[in-house]
Amino acid sequence: MATMTKKDIGGFLARQGILVAFALFIIGFTIANPKFLTPDNILSVVRSSAILGVMALGVTFVVISGNLDLSVGSMMSFSTIVVLDLHDTLGPTMAIPAMFAMTLALGALIGFLVGYLKLNSLIVTLGMLSAIHGLTLTYSGGKNMDIDDKSGTWLSVFGQGQIAGIPVPILIFLALAALLGIVLAKTPFGRKVYAVGGNGVAATFSGIRRARTVFLCYLMSAACVATAGLIQASRSMGSQNTVGQGMELEVLAAVILGGASLLGGSGTIFKTVIGVLILGFIQNGLLLMGLQFYAQFVVTWVIIILAVWLDIAAKRGRLWSPIA
């Protein structure tokens, strides 16, 4: 029987270390609180992670294409406020498509700047984070938004409804994950996204329209953000104008935890779903252990650092730098 060398163990941990760490977290949380793995708690965690998960699905395309999107948190705040505001004036039938159109316009602007003008995605989306936040405050007049007649609208179905005992947000998340998973893995567009992220120059010389591919990735990300905003608005039937603030880091952490490389060219929708669940269960476990919610910010930071370290380690085949 072949024995594993130190290098083999290091390589395995670099590729699967986050899953090993997740398993250890699950064991530890279950020992600390037996309620952790009950069906009700599991369903609650997945439901609460659905909004983050829907956003992460779109950002997965952006990251695989070799770019970043730090504007999704502010964009989600914008879409939530817009659909709530338009609901009372236009009704849900018109408010929802209007909100999607406005959110897609923001995604198209980012896609144009990054894809066609070839500006740095980090700088563009970091700037758009502030710009969209300002746009949201301007649109709302600095006020929070609520629906006047909460009992007389079908908008609540997206965030509060159930089908066969399963919350609708979970069904939306899983259906969107299945659809986008097929698009990424089985269609020519998905192969172009991998090619552009893996080697943009080679992709261009092979006939792939790199700018259009990047543009469509940001458009897809915006569509997912609009869907998340709809779920958020439907869940509470009202919202603060900063509801999505800070979520961009959680979304990025989930995508990277799922194995998508910050360098582009690798990642899958299925693993992004796993990354979302890892974050959700860890945060839930911390709460069940009695830690305050703000401890989650520290844990999220640690997880991001760990994920980036494992990502780089996977590329070089070892956990530690050979020159360290």
What are the residue ranges spanned by the domains of the chain? 44-244
User: Which DSSP category does 238 fall into?
Assistant: E
List pLDDT tens digits, range 247-289.
998 899 889 888 788 889 988 999 899 889 888 888 888 888 7
Residue 115 pLDDT: 95
Rounded CA-CA distance 88/305 in Å is 44
Residue 153 pLDDT: 82
Cα–Cα–Cα angle for 54, 56, 57, rounded to 5 degrees: 70
Q: For the packed helices 168-186 and 39-64, what is the interaxial angle rounded to 10 degrees?
A: 30
Burial (Cβ within 10 Å: 0-12, 13-18, ≥19) of residue 134: exposed
Residue 31 pLDDT: 87
Question: Average pLDDT of the chain?
Answer: 87
Residue 8 pLDDT: 60
For 77-98, what is the mean pLDDT?
Answer: 92
List pLDDT tens digits, range 95-117.
999 999 999 999 999 999 999 99
Q: Work out the percent of the chain whose per-residue pLDDT is above 70.
A: 86
For 87-99, what is the mean pLDDT?
Answer: 91
Residue 1 pLDDT: 46
Residue 165 pLDDT: 87
pTM summary value: 0.88
Least confident of 2-6, 118-122, 251-255: 2-6
Higher pLDDT pick, 45 / 317? 45
Yes or no: say if 278 and 22 are a contact pair by the CB < 8 Å rule.
yes
Yes or no: say if 145 and 242 are a contact pair by the CB < 8 Å rule.
no
Cα distances from 56 to residues 90, 118, 307, in angstroms, run 30, 23, 15
Residue 124 pLDDT: 97
Residue 2 pLDDT: 55
Residue 84 pLDDT: 92
Place of tokens 């069906």: 39
